[in-house]
Structure 1
């Protein structure tokens, strides 16, 4: 006999104000359904906001918080077991679920009209199984607000180049500066950003051989000819920063060429909106007197942006690594989470980013920002704080 003899519809059950996920189709079928789909997603997100890292702990968290959960949920058959959480996240379509990131921000009234968007990929290393490689996610990060705007997943037999256009199509690029590393330095991607009303700064490496050689030769020649006194302020701009800390000191020097009349027109014409080229040199002195030097080249559609601001964008790009990817690995233990099932790995990755967005958007009390573990602890112990994170108040 089926466990749902009355054929009750459990495919919805989203709490009021939590309709972000209502566009997701309940993947369950058959007569064994006993828990509302929307309620399971609500419980999973609440658990992640409180620092829960596994299906077993989701079940334990919900049992401990059952009285609070019943304020918002019906729970007709009590708390779902860990296997129920697992089956749900294995069955949801990852691409559709990833779309909930942007929808969640929209319903929360979050919008950016200017600033920098960094796009970068991240491997979900715990998802590797057998001959299948790990799932690879590409995310768009709003650098100023510290929020993931959208996410897309790379196909099994593809790479980031195919996922980035899909990701850009989810974003409002008008007035934004989009930064990408060398993998995203593609003519079609540059064109899509410009057509969307945005600007780009793209890192150039040997995967774009002709362009890389053109930039390297030009800057080598320019550095031999230019000095501070000879620098034509209309055609060139330069800046430098010096920083020390953590037993290391680093000097960053940037040179921007705003006049591209010297560039081979066949090369220049391949890149839509190209208006300036950039060289950044980093010299680092490490503990024990060891040194390290690195030079990188970039192209940009920003023609009037001077060197100091350009360096800010290039450095700001790494916020997605330091404030998002590192946090997901070191604190949320994303790489140590091993659901094995590729759909589950991708869907939990999306839910973690929604949870991190909620924490980063939450106004903090006091002068000193609280770390993510402290904010998770507060959510776990303070129901009012958790309700604010869930936008229930």
Structure 2
């Protein structure tokens, strides 16, 4: 979370705005957000159908005056999702996520904040899913020194190079480029 505080301060100094989701890897922020008085806040509801599922979302937004030990935080958001697969109508999965932003009430409407958070999740899913599934990052044996960070940077660079070239199927592209090492050099514009 220290790195995120530095990042938020950097953005604030330049007049940029931000939304930060409180994920499970930030237990302190998650705990602070969960402890806010959400019961007393009105919710905006939305439902959506797609990808063989139906999803119901409620969004609650709370203006922060105190209570969160995070610099420049002006509002907290609680997003509750309840999903069901269309082929399993009786089975629901639920989840609650939290976020904070420096945007004030007059700067962003609830539907805008919800859209920005959903677009953030689509970016996260696009990058992390490829790293987790295609590159099997979670089972990497690199665990010491700077090795994990270097390997993560190399995987991200590879994904970026392929996407810049207009390639969407990373796994197929990896197989294609693995067959001939000059293909990778040509993709990068080296030869």
Same fold judged by TM-score > 0.5?
yes
Root-mean-square deviation (CA, aligned residues, Å) is: 3.4
Matched with 2:20 is 202
Alpha-carbon distance in 2 for matches of 1:372, 1:318: 19
Once the two structures are TM-superposed, the CA of residue 255 in structure 1 deviates from its matched residue by: 4.1
Q: Is the 8 A contact 1:191 1:271 kept in 2?
A: no
Equivalent residue for 1:289, pick from 90, 96, 99: 90
Closer/same/farther in 2, CA of residues 332 and 307 from structure 1, 3 Å limit: same
Matched with 1:249 is 54
1:1-393 to 2 correspondences below 5 Å? 161-164=1-4, 168=7, 190-203=8-21, 207-208=28-29, 212-219=34-41, 222=42, 238=44, 240-246=46-52, 248-256=53-61, 260=63, 265-267=65-67, 272-286=71-85, 287=88, 289-303=90-104, 304-339=107-142, 341-364=144-167, 370-380=168-178, 386-392=184-190
Q: Is the 8 A contact 2:5 2:70 kept in 1?
A: no
Alpha-carbon distance in 2 for matches of 1:191, 1:215: 26
Matched with 1:46 is none
Closer/same/farther in 2, CA of residues 244 and 194 from structure 1, 3 Å limit: same
Aligned length: 183
Secondary structure at the aligned position of 2:36 is classed as helix
Alpha-carbon distance in 2 for matches of 1:273, 1:341: 35
| Higher Cα Rg, which structure | 1
Q: Is the 8 A contact 1:256 1:277 kept in 2?
A: yes
Once the two structures are TM-superposed, the CA of residue 316 in structure 1 deviates from its matched residue by: 2.5
Once the two structures are TM-superposed, the CA of residue 212 in structure 1 deviates from its matched residue by: 4.0
Alpha-carbon distance in 2 for matches of 1:342, 1:218: 47
Secondary structure at the aligned position of 2:149 is classed as helix
Once the two structures are TM-superposed, the CA of residue 371 in structure 1 deviates from its matched residue by: 0.8
Structure 1: state its 5+ residue gaps: 1-160, 169-189, 224-237, 365-369
Normalized against structure 2, the TM-score is what?
A: 0.71
Once the two structures are TM-superposed, the CA of residue 347 in structure 1 deviates from its matched residue by: 2.3
Closer/same/farther in 2, CA of residues 296 and 343 from structure 1, 3 Å limit: closer
Normalized against structure 1, the TM-score is what?
A: 0.39
Secondary structure at the aligned position of 1:317 is classed as helix
Alpha-carbon distance in 1 for matches of 2:90, 2:110: 29
